Amino acid sequence: MANESIDVTESVLFYLGLAKYISTRGTCPTKQVGAVIVDEGLNIVLSTGLNDAPRGLQRCGAECQNRTIGENSKSCQAIHAEMNAILNAARVGIPITKATMYVTISPCLNCARAIIQSGISAVYASSMSPYEKALDILKQAGVKTAIVSGVSLPRVIMPPWMTSEDTSG
């Protein structure tokens, strides 16, 4: 996924770092992925997603622990982060047309199709997946794409009441 006319700004690094942070909450034992959908004009987060089972369903179990990515996917309950972010926005009626998606790994073919169909106009990823065809169809559909390496987790400062340490003195 070549960097095609997309500037790597501080906000790009922030949102990729946020996607990385969100990925740490994923329950898929095979791959933790995070996605953030942003309205660039308003500079606000519209939706987020992570690799996780659908609401109300049991999360992946032992059968997923040792599987190779892309194999035996019939036993996996997880929804990919990109699809989860798109569906979360749809669930509450948030339009994501012309939005930008930030994701920790470039999308698979099914997620690329959903990105195109939902009207997302750009995708930034902090690492490359093995799904070359997904990148091809994103480009064919006019979705701008970029891989931005070297993204670290944003520093999160927790308020004292959210930490495990008692700071009341």
Instruction: Give the pLDDT of residue 1.
Output: 43
| pLDDT tens readout for residues 107-164 | 999 999 999 999 999 999 998 888 889 989 999 999 999 888 776 665 655 556 555 5
pLDDT of 34 strictly over 90:
yes
What pLDDT, on a 0 to 100 scale, did the predictor assign at position 3? 44
What pTM was estimated for this model as a whole? 0.82
Instruction: Considering the candidates 71, 82, 132, 165, report the single residue annotated as catalytic.
Output: 82
Q: So what's the pLDDT on residue 90? A: 97
Q: Confidence band (pLDDT; 50, 70, 90) for 88?
A: very high
Supply the pLDDT for residue 138: 96
Catalytic-residue membership of 82: yes
Whether 52 contacts 84, CB under 8 Å: yes
The answer to whether residue 167 scores a pLDDT higher than 50 is no
The torsion region of residue 139 among left (phi > 0), alpha (psi -120 to 50) and beta comes to: alpha
